[in-house]
Amino acid sequence: MFETFKTVTMAQMATFDDVLEVTGRIGWFQIRSFIFLLITHLIGSWVVFALVFIGGTNDHWCTVGQLEQEDCMELNMTSSDCDQLKRDLTTSGLSEGDAKCMKYNISGNDVVSALAQLEDVTKPDVIPCDDGWTYDRSMYGITVTEEWNLVCDYSTIPNILMSTFFGGILLGCLVFGYLADRIGRYRVFCICIIGAALCSLLSALSPHVLVFGSLRFMLGFFMYGSALVTFVIATELVLPDKRVYLGTGVWYCFALGQVLLPGLAILIPNWRHLIIVTTMPFLLLVPAFWFLTESPRWLVADENFEEAEKVIQEIAKVNKKEIPHNLLTKLREEYVKAQADEQTTFRNLIRNPVLMVYFICLLYIWFAQSFVYYGLSLGTSSLGMNIHAAFSISGAVELPAYAFSMFTMNKFGRRLSTGGLTFVAGLACLGTILIPVGPFRVTVAMVGKFAITASFANIYLHTSEIFPTPLRTSVTGICSVAARVGGMVAPLILVLGQYWVSLPLVCFGVSAILAAFLMFMLPETKGRSMPDTIGDSVKLRRVPVRNEDNSVGGAVTTTNTITS
């Protein structure tokens, strides 16, 4: 049976959060939707980091065709000793770099005569690899690097492939952020999921590295579009007191994907098979096309009230609630009245000095968060252990960071939590300069990474809570572009360590501390309704915070309770 609300004071009904109060603060509809969103971020993690394993470079050396069938029987050697001897015959005495790309010219010799020639004072001429390469698969399985011999003169191509993928992400930030605010979250979600699944599967069939690189670009384009939209949907379906859990919870699945991916790479050593297996979870998202709906908050902002009413009725039905007959009418009247006073367009946003300050601050904060995050990750990535174990540990470290993110946002609010964590990350970067190499320095660096991971999760949610519904995804997408720029700049800053070893850490530390101070230029959004108009966003500076029990810490209320 539906739970019926006895009275509704219509004079107080004015916001979409009031609708969520009636249809269920968090019910099976929200939980069901959130499960699909979690799957999206799990797949997203595998898509983003797959190239670490499918594009890894194994140790390699020149193949000598004439020695391939030699078994070293005359020398009484085991198979492994014979393989090592063949390698020594072609590379012994060469520098580490040359040993991977050059070989001694021992044409026409067998193992025994080649060994005698190698021991001679006058060694054979050195020539480039002309028979291809032999790969040691003790670290990675069969990778794109091995299949297309992306080594030596072509060794930069795997890095270019990664940059190509991030280029697709950058474009996706702009295109799908805009489209989600124009044609709706649901349509963009469907387009992106289908596009990403097709690009991923087709990349596993790539006949050439150029085809693979093009498909990776398109995969990044579609995949980030789905991740951006699903995050916005998650935050728009719940009330303020649950927004932290859903907004940050998606990153748990992203980190879990990092923990699981190395195990899959070990079990599935062929890069084509690994792509196919990690693409299979897309099938789990097919039911989402029937169970997910358009964001009703966006439908109201788009003035599609008839469709919004259908979706709201669906939420109430799934959550076993009943909507008062005049609730949606009042919501429509209030929104039309608000829109009559102002138009929520990007042009009006940038004309508003308050929101423009918020926007500029956030662009820098997103840049700095990504800049420091990737700078610390790349600068401390070598843990002196197996790549699979190191990668899993790196993902596992982020899990408690997200828990800490949720705790601090609920306890101290968005500004103090994000600003404080970013400041700690900056201090850790600067403090690392003063600490000698050793376990204590690594610990301080990990504290910095922990802090920047938690604050990076915070800023996604904070941004979505500041800007109005018709512009929310567009603004988040543009801020994501700033973050991508930060991620691309970080490796270049690390190069400055050649001139002064501490210079990169100084850049990271100063950037983080400046971002921490800029956080306090933004409004506190803890417990507040998501704004639907530019006026709502501007009022965040002075509207009081609503507590989790719906009481208001001030004289003026923005949303009101419904008596049950």
Question: pLDDT tens digit string along 348-359?
Answer: 777 888 888 999
Q: What percent of the chain has pLDDT over 70?
A: 79
Please name the residue that has the structure tokens 């803890």. 526
Kindly tell me if the per-residue pLDDT of 5 is higher than 60: no
Residue 554, Cα to own-chain centre: how many angstroms?
Answer: 38
Kindly tell me if the per-residue pLDDT of 119 is higher than 70: no
Residue 92, Cα to own-chain centre: how many angstroms?
Answer: 44
pLDDT class of 111 with cuts at 50, 70, 90: low
For the chain, give the mean pLDDT.
78
| Nearest C-alpha neighbor of 99 from the set 58, 146, 62, 137 | 62
Residue 136's region, left for phi above 0, alpha for psi from -120 to 50, else beta, is beta
If 0-12 CB within 10 Å is exposed, 13-18 middle and 19+ buried, where does residue 69 land?
A: exposed
pLDDT at position 552, please? 43
Please name the residue that has the structure tokens 């401390």. 380
* Other beta carbons less than 10 A from residue 441's beta carbon: 16
pLDDT class of 311 with cuts at 50, 70, 90: confident
Considering only residues 425 and 352, tell me which one the structure prediction assigns the higher pLDDT. 425
Q: Global pTM?
A: 0.75
> Is the CB of residue 161 less than 8 Å from the CB of residue 212?
yes
Which range has the worst mean pLDDT, 75-89, 175-189, 432-446, 512-526?
A: 75-89
Considering only residues 11 and 190, tell me which one the structure prediction assigns the higher pLDDT. 190
Considering only residues 352 and 81, tell me which one the structure prediction assigns the higher pLDDT. 352
Per-residue HEC secondary structure of 370-419 comes to HHHHHHHHHHCCCCCCCHHHHHHHHHHHHHHHHHHHHHHHHHHCHHHHHH
Fill in the amino acid letter for 544.
P
Distance from C-alpha of 237 to C-alpha of 242, rounded to nearest angstrom = 10
pLDDT at position 553, please? 44
Most confidently predicted of 14-23, 226-235, 409-418, 431-440: 409-418
Mean pLDDT (whole number) for 82-97: 69
pLDDT at position 387, please? 74
> Is the CB of residue 434 less than 8 Å from the CB of residue 381?
no
In the chain, the domains with their CATH numbers are 60-67+88-104+115-136 (no CATH), 342-544 (1.20.1250.20)
Please name the residue that has the structure tokens 């983003």. 48
pLDDT at position 305, please? 81
- Rounded to 5 degrees, what are φ and ψ at 205? -105, 10
> Is the CB of residue 534 less than 8 Å from the CB of residue 468?
yes
Which range has the worst mean pLDDT, 239-243, 505-509, 531-535?
A: 239-243
Considering only residues 143 and 340, tell me which one the structure prediction assigns the higher pLDDT. 143
Kindly tell me if the per-residue pLDDT of 29 is higher than 60: yes
Considering only residues 345 and 148, tell me which one the structure prediction assigns the higher pLDDT. 148
> Is the CB of residue 428 less than 8 Å from the CB of residue 441?
no
Residue 62, Cα to own-chain centre: how many angstroms?
Answer: 38
pLDDT at position 563, please? 30
| Nearest C-alpha neighbor of 271 from the set 210, 209, 226 | 209
Kindly tell me if the per-residue pLDDT of 452 is higher than 80: yes
Mean pLDDT (whole number) for 249-262: 84
Mean pLDDT (whole number) for 530-556: 61
Distance from C-alpha of 537 to C-alpha of 494, rounded to nearest angstrom = 38
Most confidently predicted of 13-27, 450-464, 535-549: 450-464
pLDDT tens for 209-251 read 999 999 999 998 998 888 878 877 777 787 777 777 777 777 7
Distance from C-alpha of 2 to C-alpha of 309, rounded to nearest angstrom = 18
> Is the CB of residue 13 less than 8 Å from the CB of residue 333?
no
> Is the CB of residue 195 less than 8 Å from the CB of residue 188?
no
Residue 339, Cα to own-chain centre: how many angstroms?
Answer: 35
| Nearest C-alpha neighbor of 93 from the set 56, 113, 121 | 121
Considering only residues 374 and 65, tell me which one the structure prediction assigns the higher pLDDT. 374
If 0-12 CB within 10 Å is exposed, 13-18 middle and 19+ buried, where does residue 196 land?
A: buried
Fill in the amino acid letter for 537.
S
Distance from C-alpha of 556 to C-alpha of 452, rounded to nearest angstrom = 35
pLDDT at position 67, please? 66
pLDDT class of 44 with cuts at 50, 70, 90: confident
| Nearest C-alpha neighbor of 551 from the set 539, 561, 563 | 561
Distance from C-alpha of 357 to C-alpha of 369, rounded to nearest angstrom = 18
pLDDT at position 113, please? 65
Distance from C-alpha of 470 to C-alpha of 259, rounded to nearest angstrom = 36
Q: What percent of the chain has pLDDT over 90?
A: 15
Fill in the amino acid letter for 76.
N
Considering only residues 213 and 328, tell me which one the structure prediction assigns the higher pLDDT. 213
pLDDT class of 337 with cuts at 50, 70, 90: low
Look up residue 26 and give its two tokens: 């968090």
Look up residue 409 and give its two tokens: 């946002």
| Nearest C-alpha neighbor of 193 from the set 41, 309, 328 | 41
pLDDT at position 117, please? 61
N-terminal to C-terminal alpha carbon distance within the chain:
16
> Is the CB of residue 273 less than 8 Å from the CB of residue 201?
no
If 0-12 CB within 10 Å is exposed, 13-18 middle and 19+ buried, where does residue 104 land?
A: buried
